[in-house]
Amino acid sequence: MDRRQALRAAFSVPLLAAFAPRAEGKDYADAAELLQAIDGLEAGVATRLRAIAQAMPAARAFAESCLSDHDRHRQGRQRLRRRLRVAAPPPGGSEATSPLSLDALRNAQEALVYAHAEGLPVLGDAVAVDALARDMVRLSRQLTVIDLWIESEAAAG
């Protein structure tokens, strides 16, 4: 993605957020706060995915694919921390409540997508915006699959 495409992606995010159904938003103070928030939200999604994959073997391939993306995204955020000279936070866990609920998974995934969208303006670096925007697109695709999964479960009764 060249600089023009990165800027186009960055400018399309506020439009996406303007039409979002959520009323509240998060203004991140800086890149460190954003990256730490993303780490925590991603850990919550991962906890739910692992629990669902263990309880529902048919979901295992999807969960493993998402978790593999999380690993790549985490490595990318480590590179961004070095690039932006942001210290890595101390390791911490995430407690997910209702880990087997698809609705809880959907809400956690949505919060992760929104954190990416809402945080792009604080990055101040085209490479960082490009990297997180690409991650956001992948996470949005996963959110769509989760939505379809919920719909199919509801239709099945």
**pLDDT tens for each residue of 47-88:** 999 999 999 999 999 999 999 999 999 999 999 999 999 998
Consecutive H or E run containing 56: none
Q: Is the pTM of this model over 0.85?
A: no
The answer, yes or no, to whether residue 5 has pLDDT greater than 70, is no
Q: Provide the pLDDT for residue 10.
A: 53
CA distance 15 to 36: 24
Q: Could you confirm whether domain 3-9+31-156 is CATH 1.10.3210? A: no
What angle, 0 to 180 degrees and rounded to 10, lies between the N-to-C axes of helices 3-18 and 102-123? 130
